[in-house]
Amino acid sequence: MSQSTPVYVTQPYLPPLDEFIPYLRQIWDNKVLTNCGPFHQQLERALCDYLGVEHIALFTNGTIALVTALQALRVTGEVITTPYSFVATSHSLLWNGIKPVFVDIDPNTLNMDPARIESAITPQTTAIMPVHCYGHPCDVEAIQMIADNYNLKVIYDAAHAFGVDCSCGSILKHGDLSVLSFHATKVFNTFEGGAIVCPDEKTKIRIDQLKNFGHVGEINVVAPGINGKMSEFNAALGLLQLKYIDQAIAKRKKIDARYREQLSCVKGIHCLNGAEEKVANYAYFPILVGSDYPLNRDGLNQRLKDNGINPRRYFFPLITEFPMYRGLPSAARENLPVATAAASKVLCLPIYPDLEISIVDEIASFIATQSK
């Protein structure tokens, strides 16, 4: 196998350009580019309807949304979180002057292990920030029970979890707040963007104030807010993307199924399963490369790259390996054996709506032949 055109781990889904032009004309005509204009307001309502939630506040990106979510709930002190995520999760804590406390992950879902949370709680702990890794739901009931027992807030980094439902409906309804990313690499993208799912109107009002410098009205500023507003261009794309999102997820589902079928008998390759979600979004396709496969993870990664396939070691290294976190007691490798092992084995294979099934077959076949 050798791809003349490189295949990357993901590719942004974009609707037909000619369908986007009328939205641009409206922006040109009304000359409202930002500051929560008409497309911004329409997208908030449309997303609430699609996702089955009550209130959404749109943001310029998911990272600013995480930073603001912590401020909205006045979180301070220490927050328990996962080392197995993108750095934006823990960076949002540092930006708020909060100390991250890392706990290990579940070996089956690679989400935060609820059994590890209680022993990490101190008098300074004020919240828990789990991640629905790869779009697979955390054990939300167990996490909420702990939070209730210790009077802690729960903010979910739901960057991967657009459109995911658990047995009781949208996974985004759990916790005090859930934060989405609409980055170009995500299942649903607005070029760049994000959102906070809010439980009530009062919370949304506070979040809307914080994302607009803390303004209330024309001259009053009530909080040290930030400029986190989504532009009209991003919101317009989001409205158009919603027309195609079900189609895009259906294509991802077929790719996911094909990989599982083709790799099921390859010794040493473990396809990560879901977490009993009722509706999945197939955001990523992670495999774990075991010791009984002829190549280690990095060896397989390089072989694929040499043949024009560009997977991603996602998440490697762990957040706790970066210098700004390495010195924390909770960042020690002996505290995180499952996460450390997963980070050394994981490889996310290409998955995106426009990926041809024939290329999926070639990738799976190549992985299988390396095992012989």
Q: Are 79 and 93 in contact (CB under 8 A)?
A: yes
Stated pTM of the model = 0.97
Q: What percent of the chain has pLDDT over 70?
A: 99
pLDDT value, residue 225 = 96
Instruction: Write out the H or E segment, with its range, that includes residue 324.
Output: helix 323-326
Look at residues 8, 357, 53, 355 and name the one whose alpha carbon lies nearest to residue 195: 53
Confidence at 213, pLDDT banded by 50, 70, 90: very high
Q: How does pLDDT run across 119-155, given as a tens digit for each residue?
A: 999 999 999 999 999 999 999 999 999 999 999 999 9
Dihedral over Cα of 164, 351, 261, 110: its sign: negative
Task: Give the tokens for residue 316.
Answer: 């490697």
> Quick check: 90 and 325 in contact, CB under 8 A?
yes
Is the Cβ–Cβ distance between 371 and 293 less than 8 Å? Answer: yes
CATH topology for 246-369? Aspartate Aminotransferase, domain 1 (3.90.1150)
Query: Of all residues in the chain, what percent carry a pLDDT higher than 90?
Result: 96
Q: Which residue has the tokens 């991003």?
A: 234
Question: If one looks up domain 17-103+111-242 in CATH, what number appears?
Answer: 3.40.640.10
Give me the pLDDT at residue 4, please.
75
DSSP conformational letter for 225: -
Residue type at 47 in one-letter notation: L
What is the predicted pLDDT for the residue at 43?
Answer: 98
Mean pLDDT of the chain: 97
Among residues 32, 12, 3, 328, which one has the least CA distance to residue 193? 12
Angle subtended at Cα 178 by Cα 351 and Cα 90, rounded to the nearest 5 degrees? 80
pLDDT tier, 1 (very low <50, low <70, confident <90, very high otherwise):
low
> CA-to-CA distance for 162 and 142, rounded, in angstroms?
22
- Per-residue pLDDT tens for 288-338? 999 999 999 999 999 999 999 999 999 999 999 999 999 999 999 999 999
Angle, in degrees to the nearest 10, between helices 17-30 and 38-51: 130
**What would the pLDDT profile of 26-72 be if each residue is shown by its tens digit?**
999 999 999 999 999 999 999 999 999 999 999 999 999 999 999 99
Domains of the chain: which residue ranges?
A: 17-103+111-242, 246-369
For 83, which DSSP code? S
**pLDDT for res 276:** 85
Q: How confident is the model over 177-199, as a mean pLDDT?
A: 98
| Tokens found for residue 140 | 């939300």
Q: Mean of the pLDDT values across residues 239-260?
A: 98
Q: Which two tokens stand for residue 234?
A: 């991003």
- pLDDT at residue 54 in the model: 96
Q: Is the pLDDT of residue 163 over 90?
A: yes
Give Cα 235 distance to the centre of its chain. Answer: 19
Residues 341-350: pLDDT tens digits? 999 999 999 9
pLDDT in tens, 79-126: 999 999 999 999 999 999 999 999 999 999 999 999 999 999 999 999
